Amino acid sequence: MISKKLEDAINYQINRELYSEYYYLSMASYLNSIGLSGFENFFLVQVEEERFHAMKMYNFLNEKGGRVTLQTIEAPKTEFKSPVEIFELAYEHEKLVSGLINGLMDLAIKENDHAAKNHLNWFVEEQVEEEASMETILNKLKLIGGEGQGLLMIDNELAQRIFTPPAK
């Protein structure tokens, strides 16, 4: 059984993961509208990852005897200045999510919930990868000035990304 406090916190995190999915879908849509289908693909894969994260939390909460209670998902930003701005925002967003995951881990430790700690370890490691991915692309975009042939080369690179659900 899971504590009410941890159940509420995980429910909040499920909502944040679903918001991330929505936010990245908005970014993908914008990138499509300016003809950057590779960048769009990158974020469509990110959408799938965020849904996977939400469902991983959903399944864990159910397995621990908690109840998932969905909340309203606020509308994400829909207009952006450039791919550079999008990756700046995505990188900041991933750092925010890392903070939320760390807060959940702190709560699981405080509550001495070993199953939750074990479950959250996966997310802690995943966030290292998420932040690094956004920062790497952001740095590449800054190196090329966010435009020109370099932008198209990165677009082609990002078109190759596919979603592979992680093993449990």
CA distance 41 to 97: 22
Taking 70 as the threshold, does the pLDDT of residue 168 lie above it? no
Residue 165: pLDDT band (50, 70, 90) is confident
Task: Please give the pLDDT value at position 83.
Answer: 97
Task: Please give the pLDDT value at position 166.
Answer: 81
The pTM of the full predicted model, rounded to 2 decimals, is 0.94
Average pLDDT over residues 69-74: 95
Beta strand extents in the chain (DSSP E only): none
- pLDDT tens for residues 128-153? 999 999 999 999 999 999 888 999 99
Nearest alpha-carbon partner for 65 in 113, 2, 117, 114: 2
CATH architecture of the region 4-69+81-158: Up-down Bundle (1.20)
- pLDDT tens for residues 102-115? 999 999 999 999 99
Q: How many CB atoms lie within 10 A of CB 121?
A: 13
Q: What is the mean pLDDT of the chain?
A: 96
